[in-house]
Structure 1
Amino acid sequence: MGYFNNNTGYPKDLLASRAVIKRENYALIPTDGLVKNIVPGFEECDVTILSSPKLGASFVDYIVTMQPNGRNEAGYGEAGVETFVYVIDGNVKASAGDQAFNLSTGGYLYCPPGKLMYLKNENGGKNSQLFLYKRKYSPLAGHEPIVVSDNVNNLENIQYEGMSNVILKDLLPKDLGFDMNMHILSFEPGASHGYIETHIQEHGAYILTGAGMYNLDNDWMPVKKGDYIFMAAYCLQAGYAVGDQPFSYIYSKDCNRDAEL
């Protein structure tokens, strides 16, 4: 199994953790304490499962470290399941059926249900790190999703709720065929949400840069690059940047569907 951060032996401090797990509500999961999992299909890859239905999520998030010959040639996904990959660092060849894409840092690929995702590290003998996601797709009559691939550097910068120092990027189309979206939200130093949010959507968020303070169900806690946050439906949530660099994270959001009874 092994630890994600590859630290071995006894720590030089107290046996303690910043992790907070409140199932069906929220979780803050720092790098320390995460483990590597063996997931069928992933060869020469360190796969860490971040959130799952066991935590209360309707999706599964992962961090995947692809070693120089890392790959998934069996195909990732299954019937009725949509998948998404974002390249945190490195270069990866990704395929959706017969469509191939070269993804560098900031690149991503969405595969609708019925399209398996194939991945191969092509980073010149170095590791690549990925943020990976899967979720059961909620179909809507007359609409269906399509394969989407791009790089965040090509996307429009949207002022979040009209605030020039908080920038949003939408990674997937605003189309009823999609029952979820992926976003990157970036706060300049000192910037924050305009209010504490409370809504039906749930999120899985991986912090890409910087540090901040985050409100999770009215518990304020420090967070930083490499931390993972799960927010269940109706979990109060907001954050602000601290330090001298932007605080940014990639996160999923379910959308475009009515609430079920």
Structure 2
Amino acid sequence: MGYKTNQIGYTKELLSSRAIMKRGNYALIPPDGLVKNVVPNFENCEMTILSTKKLGASFVDYICKVLPNGKNVKGFGDEGIEVFLYVVKGKLSVKTDDTETKELSTGGYVYAPAGVKIYFENTSEEATELFLYKKRYQELEGAKPYTVIGNVNELKSQAYEGMEDVQLVDLLPAEIDFDMNFHILSFAPGASHGYIETHVQEHGALLLSGQGMYNLDNDWVPVQKGDYIFMGAYSLQACYATGRDEPLSYLYSKDCHRDAEI
């Protein structure tokens, strides 16, 4: 079984890792040490499974490297399961059960509601990296989510809670039909959250750029581009950006628009 970073054989360094696992609370998963997983229907794809219920998440996240001629022709998604695909880097041909084939590039994404599958193929000569997500849809009377296809580079950002050096982009409509959303938060070097958050929502976050310090349940943890963070319900969370040349930016999911269950 190969590693996500294709590091094999003996390391020249000490056996160590920045990974932190506190099941049901939070996790930091750096690229080093991630293994490749075999997932049915993903042909010529290097898959790594991130958050699952075994970690304490109510969703599943993946990193997927789609090699040239890699594809999923049987579909990602199922009855009762909503899915999301984001192109971290590269190009991909994508379609759903209710849309025609579209060409997505870096920053492109697709949301498919429960019962609608996503199909894709890499027809380029370079590998394409994807972030994938699935969750059981929490139904609400009268609510009917729909397929959304877009590119974050075409969306307008807004100041996060009045802070101009922290920018937020919403990838899905803020409508009650959807029981989740995806966002990208970007912190200029030196910027931070305005306070340490405590809330019922869970997050799965992939760091797209930069470096920073992240407060995870009051543990300050250094993070950087390529890291993945799981934040469980009520896990304290906040960050500030360090580094010099680029913002700390991350893509993250959030459950929303539903009451708590008894």
TM norm. shorter chain > 0.5: yes
Deviation at 1:114? 1.1
**8 Å CA contact retained: 2:37, 2:49:** yes
Determine helix, strand or coil for the equivalent of 1:192: coil
**In the TM superposition, what are the counterparts of 1:162-201 in structure 2 within 5 Å?**
162-201=162-201
Which residue number in structure 2 is paired with residue 259 of structure 1? 260
Q: Residue 69 of structure 1 aligns with which residue? A: 69
TM-score of the superposed pair, with normalisation by structure 2:
0.98
Mean CA deviation greater in 98-107 or 239-248: 98-107
Structure 2 contact 98–116 (Cα < 8 Å) conserved? no
Counterpart secondary structure, 1:94: strand
Where do 5+ consecutive residues of structure 2 fail to align?
A: none
Moved over 3 A (4+): none
For residues 212 and 120 of structure 2, what CA distance do their matches in structure 1 show?
Answer: 32
Percent identical residues: 61
What does the per-residue CA deviation read over 1:40-92, in whole Å, with 9 as the maximum and x for residues that have no partner?
00000000001100000000000000001110001111110000000000011
Query: Aligned residue for 2:111?
Result: 110
**C-alpha RMSD of matched pairs (Å):** 0.7
The AA in structure 2 aligned to 1:9 is: G
What aligned pairs does 1:26-105 form with structure 2 within 5 A after superposition?
Answer: 26-99=26-99, 100-105=101-106
Q: TM-score, normalised by structure 1?
A: 0.99
Shift in Å at residue 101 of structure 1? 2.1
Determine helix, strand or coil for the equivalent of 2:143.
Answer: coil
Residues paired across the two proteins, number: 260
AA partner of residue 112 (structure 1): P
2:20 and 2:107 map into 1 onto residues whose CA distance is 29
- Match of 1:68, SS state, is strand
**What runs of 5+ residues in structure 1 fail to find an aligned partner?**
none
| 1:18 paired residue number | 18
Tell me the CA shift for residue 121 of structure 1. 1.0
Q: Distance in 1 between matches of 2:112 and 2:122?
A: 18
Q: CA deviation at 1:102?
A: 1.4
Question: Does residue 1:249 correspond to 2:247, yes or no?
Answer: no
**1:104 CA displacement:** 0.5
Separation in 1 of the partners of 2:56 and 2:6? 28
* Per-residue deviation, residues 159-201 of structure 1 (Å, max 9, x unmatched): 0000000000000001111000000000001100000000000
